[in-house]
Chain A
Amino acid sequence: MTDIGLVTELTVLVLAIFLGFEVISKVPTMLHTPLMSGTNFIHGIVVVGAIVVLGFADDAFTKTVGFVAMVLASANVVGGWFVTDRMLEMFKRRPDEKREPKQ
């Protein structure tokens, strides 16, 4: 991957922190568990790192470490996504009262 320079990377990092606080503070308490599990899924992005390490590995040590990282990271991504989906599926409004009677 291309090196964009440390200062640019740090700038991106700082902006991401502020953006993160901004977006997350709008999440209602009710959805804090799905938020945890949803962010859990997002940090599964480390799978990209695992693919790069394993994909470019040419000795046994790197291959082994990369392979384990690949297993862990994909469990993180896939598990995190499915758990979040299962949770969010359950959040429902009151079924009838809100529905307007048909005219």
Chain B
Amino acid sequence: MISDPDVVGILYLVSIICFILALRFLSSPKHARRGNWVGGVGMVIAIATTLALDGISNWLLIIVGGAIGSIVGVVGARTVKMTAMPQMVALFNGVGGGAAALVALAEFHVAEGGDLGSEEIVSIVLSALIGSISFSGSMIAFGKLQELISGRPIVFVGQNIVNVAILAGAAALGIALIAGWDEQWALIGLIGLALLFGVMFVLPIGGADMPVVISLLNAFTGIAASATGFVLNSTLLIVAGMLVGASGTLLTLLMAKAMNRSIANVLFGAFGQVQAGTGAARVDDGRTVRATTADDVAVQLSFARKVIIVPGYGLAVAQAQHDVRQLAELLEEKGIDVAYAIHPVAGRMPGHMNVLLAEANVPYDQLKEMDEINPEFPQTDVVLVIGANDVVNPAARSDPASPIYGMPILDVDKAASIVVMKRSMAPGFAGIDNELFLDPKTTMLFGNAKDSIVKLIAAVKAL
């Protein structure tokens, strides 16, 4: 068994290096997978070193606990459908936060009788608080994404006041603990209130805002793990946790920026609930929506030179990614230039559409980011919008009264013609009408995205 603290420290340093390299390798899809393996090696070194520490006992509990968790992890990760990836990420994120909170609780219990320094107690309080919020918040996010609970914002009068009260209660207990109130029930109470706060804080957030929330919860778990590192005097936990904290924070900021909204507005605005201010002076100018058929769209596509596909969450719901790829390949065989335009907040988590299309074997060099593809729309003959809505709504550019005004969008309305595939005329998650649908250049292909695309493929082949 390892008793020399320097040896332990150096082994932990090696795993820190592995984690940093793992993130570094993620800068390109070419070697990203290798990076994950390097990270895996780092984790194995960290776990093996810890197990070899002098004085570790309770082997049976460690092995059984580790085995149960591992089995759940492998089975969950292996069997989940790619379309269910956001909820899986939320789930694994939540359990990490829960573990951090429990480690803090156990450390407090062990030290009861008062040999905790102020550094330890502050870290315990932070780890328990943030870890618990992350746990219950992630579970609610999981429930929403899995559609166990409504994806729509759930709101009631005075919600923000109730939330502030809950958080204030937890903070009061935390301060009492830090001030020296050595009572385990206070910490358990704090965890309870933090769990409640996590629930209350994610419930009012709508499905379209999930990319922001998931990123934020990811940051929370990282910060909780880092705080645990201060309790245990472990630089490994401090660094690894904080790398995640920084990553989650950066993603949260990026996502909020991609929607042109402040983080506070996403978290407390209950977006998509209130329609107030939407199109205050919308005049019904007699324009109507034009419906089309798969055969007509097939002709349109076949005679195009350049086609851009804009995927949205509707594509994930219909699980139509494989069919879309087939359609795109069919068009490419005819010599048509096909690209995919990916909006940063399309879907339910950062980069959701990329993973979905990668699963369908769409080569990643065909996926174009917003800034890259926007100048190409004016030269595009047909844009195929599949289950996307708010990210192509021109009101974001033109209507200052619109709740999404100022959000950067894909300029699909600049193309020669637009085909929108939608189940019905229901508004998107933001609950706003879409001017694009009334554009004379736009035609609507109603129905389930998968069915529509299968029909399109048949029609294109028949031409």
Which residue numbers of A lie inside 8 Å of B, CB to CB? 1-4, 6, 9, 12-13, 16-21, 23-57, 59, 61-63, 65-95
Task: Point out the residues of chain A lying under 8 angstroms from B231, CB to CB.
Answer: 49
A2-B5, A16-B243 known; A33-B352 Cβ under 8 A? yes
Minimal beta-carbon separation of A12 from chain B (angstroms): 5
Per the bound structure, the CA–CA distance linking A23 and B72 in Å amounts to 31
Interface-facing stretch out of B26-34, B417-425, B426-434, B453-461: B26-34
Per the bound structure, the CA–CA distance linking A80 and B96 in Å amounts to 10
Per the bound structure, the CA–CA distance linking A33 and B105 in Å amounts to 31
- B248's partner among A39, A62, A77 (CB-CB below 8 A) is A39
Task: Point out the residues of chain A lying under 8 angstroms from B73, CB to CB.
Answer: 74-82
Q: Which residue of B lies closest to A69 (CB)?
A: B102
Q: Is the interface of B mostly helix, strand, loop or mixed?
A: helix
Which residue numbers of B lie inside 8 Å of A, CB to CB? 5, 8-9, 19-20, 22-24, 26-30, 32-33, 35-37, 39-40, 43, 46-47, 50-51, 53, 55-58, 61-62, 64-70, 72-74, 76-78, 80, 82, 85, 88-89, 91-93, 95-96, 98-100, 102-103, 105-107, 109-110, 119, 214-215, 218, 221-222, 224-226, 228-248, 250-251, 342, 344, 349-352, 354-355, 358-359, 361, 363-367, 369
- Is the CB–CB distance between A43 and B233 below 8 Å? no
A20-B242, A88-B29, A89-B33 known; A52-B235 Cβ under 8 A? no
Q: Which residue of A lies closest to B356 (CB)?
A: A33
Q: Which residue of A lies closest to B255 (CB)?
A: A32
A42-B244, A48-B50 known; A1-B5 Cβ under 8 A? yes
Per the bound structure, the CA–CA distance linking A55 and B36 in Å amounts to 28
- Is the CB–CB distance between B119 and A6 below 8 Å? yes
- Is the CB–CB distance between A88 and B23 below 8 Å? no
Task: Point out the residues of chain A lying under 8 angstroms from B37, CB to CB.
Answer: 85
Per the bound structure, the CA–CA distance linking A95 and B365 in Å amounts to 11
